[in-house]
């Protein structure tokens, strides 16, 4: 039984719609952000030793912009909720303390964080001063949601320069100062996490090298 002209037109329209849908899907896939990192010469190095600010800034920074070899990460700060943290971190950023430093630690099980801020890349570096905890979250599940930026420490009141970027909802003790939220570039941190830890495992040096080329405030 032959196909009618009406049926032929219907089939052709269907084929056209399917082709258009496939093209749109392919185009969307091409536009999907993919992690693209360029080579960096950043290596672990001796950190600056700076004098801390003696009082909080009267005008606290609203954003920290981290230029990395994998793209730009922008952090919106919590403002007056963490005045000492933002003051000292701003002092470090404007002095170039973080420039050409590596994000040295990635954890992908239990907690989901990328840790940065130690120019020595050993996890033991710091600016030579410390300051109190601020803006601690509730002791609850997922109290450090994806996008959170918080200070790393070795106990109460030991904040220095190291901080971590949360790439998936994380539950931790309420012991780490939250000072910002990633508003641009979370997919970069997630891409680093997806690539995993060097040599395997769930905690250690990121397999994909990510360096803070420059950190500045505004």
Q: Which residue has the tokens 């909802």?
A: 169
Q: Is pLDDT at 30 greater than 60 in this prediction?
A: no
8 Å CB contact between 154 and 79: no
> Greater confidence, 96 or 23?
96
What pLDDT score was predicted for residue 34?
Answer: 80
The SS3 of residue 177 is: coil
- CB burial string 89-119: b at 16+ within 10 A, e below: bbbbbeeebbbbbbbbbbbbeeebbbbbbbb
In the chain, where are the structural domains located? 1-32, 63-217
Inter-CA distances, 149 with 42, 58, 86, 101, 108, Å: 22, 22, 12, 17, 16
Q: What is the pLDDT of residues 85-130, one digit of tens each?
A: 999 999 999 999 999 999 999 999 999 999 999 999 999 999 999 9
10 Å CB burial of residue 28 (0-12, 13-18, 19+) is exposed
**pTM reported for the whole predicted model:** 0.85
What the block records as the tokens of 111 is: 């907690």
To which CATH superfamily is domain 63-217 assigned?
Answer: Cyclophilin-like (2.40.100.10)
Torsion-angle region of 142 (φ positive above 0: left; ψ -120 to 50: alpha; else: beta): left
Q: Is pLDDT at 24 greater than 80 in this prediction?
A: no
Q: Is pLDDT at 31 greater than 50 in this prediction?
A: no
Average pLDDT over residues 14-27: 38
Look at residues 159, 161, 168, 162 and name the one whose alpha carbon lies nearest to residue 187. 168
Q: What is the pLDDT of residues 152-209, one digit of tens each?
A: 999 999 999 999 999 999 999 999 999 999 999 999 999 999 999 999 999 999 999 9
């Amino acid at each position: 039984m032959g196909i009618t002209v009406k049926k032929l037109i219907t089939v052709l329209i269907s084929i056209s719609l399917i082709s258009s849908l496939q093209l749109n899907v392919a185009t969307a896939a091409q536009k999907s952000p993919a992690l693209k990192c360029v080579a960096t010469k950043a290596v672990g190095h001796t950190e600056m030793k700076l004098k801390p600010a003696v009082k909080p800034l009267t005008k606290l920074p609203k954003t920290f912009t981290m230029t990395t070899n994998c793209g730009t990460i922008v952090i919106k700060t919590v403002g007056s909720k963490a005045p000492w943290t933002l003051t000292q971190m701003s002092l470090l950023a404007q002095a170039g303390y973080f420039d050409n430093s590596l994000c040295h630690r990635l954890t992908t099980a239990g907690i989901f964080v990328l840790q940065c801020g130690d120019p020595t890349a050993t996890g033991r570096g710091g600016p030579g001063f410390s300051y109190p905890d601020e803006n601690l979250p509730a002791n609850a599940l997922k109290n450090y949601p994806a996008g959170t930026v918080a200070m790393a420490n070795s106990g109460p009141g030991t904040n220095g320069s190291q901080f971590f970027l949360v790439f998936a909802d994380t539950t931790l003790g309420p012991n780490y100062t939250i000072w910002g939220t990633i508003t641009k570039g979370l997919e970069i941190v997630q891409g680093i996490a997806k690539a995993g830890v060097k040599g395997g495992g769930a905690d250690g040096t990121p397999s994909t090298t990510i360096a803070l080329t420059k950190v500045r405030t505004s």
